[in-house]
C-alpha cells in the first residue's frame, strides 16, 4: 500500500471504536430526571380514551391519571404537566370551567398531589383554550379578537385556583403580553411565593400542534397567529425572553422543540435560568407513524430526537415518551 506522508496524522475515529469508548466520550447524556410527562385528563369518562393521532397516549380518567403519576415517580422523571378536558356543555366564552375550583383540571391537580405528594413536580397548563367554546387562549372582544388585557384577568384567577389545588408549577401557555408579571403578582397576593412559573416564552404558531387539538377536544375557530409567534422569527423570541425574565419567570420554554433547535440553542446560551423544551404532539406522531410503517427504528429515533433537544440546550424536556424512556434508561 502506498503511503502519502504522515496522513492521516489525526484519527478521530479512534474515539468511536467501541460502544464503551463512545459512551465514555459522549458529550450529551439523557437521564430520567430530564423529563416531564404531559398528561390529559377528561371529565365524565369511565375508561381512558385513546387519542387516535397519538398512538399510546390517552385522555385519562381521574383514576388512570393517578396511576400514570405513580408510574412517573417510579420511573424517576421530574414532573407531570396536566391538561384538563372538560365536558363540552361546560365550555363557554370566558372559559369559566378553567377557574372553577371543582373543574376537571383543579380536581386532577388535587388527585395527583394526594397520590404523589412532593415526589413529583405537579405542573398545570395555565391557559383557557381547553375551556372556551371558541377554542382560543383568551376571551374575545366584540369584534372576535383575543382581548389581551381582559385575558390577563382570567389568567390571574386561574393561577390562584391552580395554586390552591396543589400545583407546584404553573405553565402560562397563552402568549399574552404581560402574562408572567400578572400571574406572579396574583400568586404573591395569596401568599404563594413558592409556586414557580414555567413561561412558554417562545411558543410558535406551528402546524405540528394538530394531534394536540384532538387530545384536548379543541373547539378552535380560526388560528392563533395573532398571539403565537411567527415561525420565521428568531429575534422576536429573544425579546419575549427578556420580557418574561423581567416579569419573574423562573424557567423558560421553547415550543415546539425539534423544528426550533436553533431558537432553543440561542435561548439556552442567553440565560442562567433552566430552559425547557416541549416535544409536541406532531413530533411524537411523526415518529410513531413512520415506525408503524416500518420506515424507521422507533426506539432509536425516539432517543435520537430527545438527545438532539438536550444537546441544543434543554435542561428539561416535555415529551409523551417521558415515562417509557425513563424506564429504559434506568
Q: What ranges in 26-147 are assigned the alpha helix state H?
A: 62-75, 104-116
pLDDT at residue 5, rounded to an integer: 67
What are the backbone dihedrals phi and psi of residue 222, each rounded to the nearest 5 degrees, phi first? 90, -145
pLDDT at residue 207, rounded to an integer: 87
Cβ distance 3 to 45 under 8 Å? no
The DSSP bridge pattern shows strands 316-318 and 275-278 to be parallel
Catalytic residue among 203, 266, 293, 300: 203
Domains of the chain: 28-329 (3.20.20.70)
Catalytic residue among 66, 91, 255, 266: 255
The DSSP bridge pattern shows strands 196-203 and 121-126 to be unpaired
pLDDT at residue 137, rounded to an integer: 82
Which one, of 261, 124, 135, lies nearest residue 197 by Cα?
Answer: 124
Measured from the Cβ of residue 178, the count of other Cβ atoms closer than 10 Å reads 14
pLDDT at residue 134, rounded to an integer: 86
Preceding amide of 145 cis, omega within 30: no
- CA distances to 95, 133, 152 from 140, rounded to whole Å, are 11, 11, 12
The C-alpha cell that represents 290 in the structure block: 413512520
Query: Which string of b and e fits 26-36 if b means at least 16 CB within 10 Å?
Result: eeeebebebbb
pLDDT at residue 4, rounded to an integer: 65
DSSP 83-100: EEE--GGG-BTT-GGGT-
- Give yes or no: 266 in active site: no
Q: What is the DSSP letter of 209?
A: G
CA 175 to chain centre: 14
Binding-site residue set: 213, 224, 240, 281, 320
Binding-site residue set for Mg(2+): 240
What average pLDDT values come out for the chain (330 residues) when binned by 10 residues? 72 95 96 98 96 95 98 98 94 94 98 98 95 88 92 97 98 94 98 98 90 72 80 96 98 97 98 98 96 98 98 98 96
pLDDT at residue 3, rounded to an integer: 61
The C-alpha cell that represents 235 in the structure block: 429575534
Binding-site residue set for 5-aminolevulinate: 213, 224, 281, 320
Cβ distance 86 to 106 under 8 Å? no
Contacts with 97 (C-beta within 8 Å, 6 or more apart), sequence order? 84, 86, 90, 91, 103, 104, 131
Which one, of 231, 196, 193, 192, lies nearest residue 126 by Cα?
Answer: 196
- Give yes or no: 67 in active site: no
The C-alpha cell that represents 128 in the structure block: 383557557
Amino acid at each position: 500500500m502506498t503511503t502519502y506522508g504522515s496522513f492521516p496524522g489525526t484519527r478521530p475515529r479512534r474515539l468511536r471504536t467501541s460502544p464503551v469508548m463512545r459512551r465514555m466520550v459522549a458529550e450529551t447524556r439523557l437521564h430520567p430526571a430530564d423529563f416531564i410527562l404531559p398528561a390529559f385528563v377528561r371529565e365524565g369518562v369511565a375508561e381512558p380514551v385513546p387519542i387516535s393521532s397519538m398512538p399510546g397516549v390517552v385522555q385519562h380518567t381521574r383514576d388512570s391519571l393517578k396511576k400514570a403519576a405513580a408510574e412517573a415517580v417510579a420511573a424517576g422523571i421530574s414532573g407531570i404537566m396536566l391538561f384538563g378536558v372538560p365536558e363540552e356543555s361546560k365550555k363557554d366564552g370566558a372559559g369559566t370551567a378553567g377557574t372553577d375550583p371543582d373543574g376537571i383540571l383543579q380536581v386532577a391537580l388535587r388527585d395527583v398531589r394526594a397520590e404523589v405528594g412532593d415526589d413529583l413536580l405537579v405542573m398545570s397548563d395555565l391557559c383557557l383554550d381547553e375551556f372556551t367554546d371558541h377554542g382560543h387562549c383568551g376571551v374575545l372582544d366584540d369584534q372576535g379578537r383575543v382581548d389581551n388585557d381582559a385575558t390577563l384577568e382570567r389568567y390571574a384567577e386561574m393561577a390562584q385556583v391552580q395554586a390552591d389545588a396543589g400545583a407546584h408549577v404553573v405553565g402560562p401557555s397563552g402568549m399574552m403580553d404581560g402574562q408572567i408579571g400578572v400571574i406572579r403578582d396574583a400568586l404573591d397576593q395569596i401568599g404563594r411565593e413558592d409556586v414557580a412559573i414555567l413561561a412558554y416564552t417562545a411558543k410558535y404558531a406551528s402546524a405540528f400542534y394538530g394531534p394536540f387539538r384532538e387530545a384536548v377536544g379543541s373547539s378552535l375557530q380560526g388560528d392563533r397567529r395573532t398571539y403565537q409567534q411567527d415561525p420565521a422569527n428568531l429575534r422576536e423570541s429573544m425579546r419575549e425572553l427578556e420580557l418574561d425574565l423581567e416579569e419573574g419567570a423562573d424557567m423558560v420554554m421553547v415550543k415546539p422543540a425539534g423544528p426550533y433547535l436553533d431558537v432553543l440553542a440561542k435561548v439556552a446560551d442567553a440565560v442562567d435560568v433552566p430552559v425547557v423544551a416541549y416535544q409536541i404532539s406532531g413530533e411524537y406522531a411523526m415518529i410513531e407513524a413512520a415506525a408503524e410503517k416500518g420506515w424507521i427504528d422507533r426506539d432509536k429515533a425516539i432517543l435520537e430526537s430527545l438527545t438532539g433537544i438536550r444537546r441544543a440546550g434543554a435542561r428539561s424536556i416535555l415529551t409523551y415518551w417521558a415515562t417509557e424512556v425513563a424506564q429504559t434508561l434506568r
